[in-house]
Structure 1
């Protein structure tokens, strides 16, 4: 069995393979875990990245195999930090090219990512995510 790096983004096939292996199920048959709804992307992050579907997809993949609320929150924080690092690289590249329009776009993107990563911004409303793992009663 191939060991997956914990910080590398996984494809749906890899997630299915890991879940099937962990459940000792026949990997050619659908796993009950695969039928479970995916953890929801927090609404403020959905809104912040509405025009960036690739970021939403990466967020959903990060949440897909989280085992509990704390793991999901941690994965979101880590991925948002990675987005910030990527945006800093884009800003540096725009500055190196001395492209004022690209610099302005990169600065806006970076500022938006800081808000998304903050506890008062994108990570400020995690109620849906909490309910996904704990239900209405808080049990699980």
Structure 2
């Protein structure tokens, strides 16, 4: 249930961002903000999650907004992993439970300031306007 609400919220925010002329101009004229390297590493085997992260970054107008968007979406990823863990526990499937626990742990690490959000230098440089970051 939480995962559905998070996905709907994410889709709505993405769609609405293009109704704002400022955001639409940013999305059309500029290169997309880079995904932080630790997040790329954390989800290298999950292109679906990387795509969602990239889409949410595309809606950000500045560094702080980009960071908040990432934090919110990573929190939604954690909620989805919790739902998957609960479903695996309800099925009493030890292999699925172990896999879901590892996935949840990985998502918590990605959401932490010492994990996936620990290296935001490229993102900062992108919004600061450094030519080598675009």
Aligned structure 1 segments of 4 or more residues deviating by more than 6 angstroms: none
> Among residues 122, 126, 132, which one is paired with 2:126 in the alignment?
132
Residue 106 of structure 2 is matched in structure 1 by 112
Aligned residue pairs total: 123
Change (3 A) 1:35 1:15: farther
Q: Between 80-89 and 33-42, report the one with greater CA deviation.
A: 33-42
Unaligned stretches of 5+ residues in structure 1: 1-5, 26-30
Whose helix proportion is higher, 1 or 2? 2
Say whether the 8 Å CA contact 1:9–1:61 is kept in structure 2. no
What TM-score do you get using the length of structure 2 for normalisation?
Answer: 0.82
Q: CA deviation at 1:65?
A: 1.3
Say whether the 8 Å CA contact 2:27–2:59 is kept in structure 1. no
What TM-score do you get using the length of structure 1 for normalisation?
Answer: 0.78
> Among residues 72, 87, 95, which one is paired with 2:89 in the alignment?
95
Say whether the 8 Å CA contact 2:56–2:70 is kept in structure 1. yes
Residue 19 of structure 2 is matched in structure 1 by 18
Name the Cα RMSD after superposition. 2.5
Change (3 A) 1:72 1:103: same
CA distance in 1, matches of 2:42, 2:80: 16
Unaligned stretches of 5+ residues in structure 2: 1-7
CA distance in 1, matches of 2:81, 2:48: 14
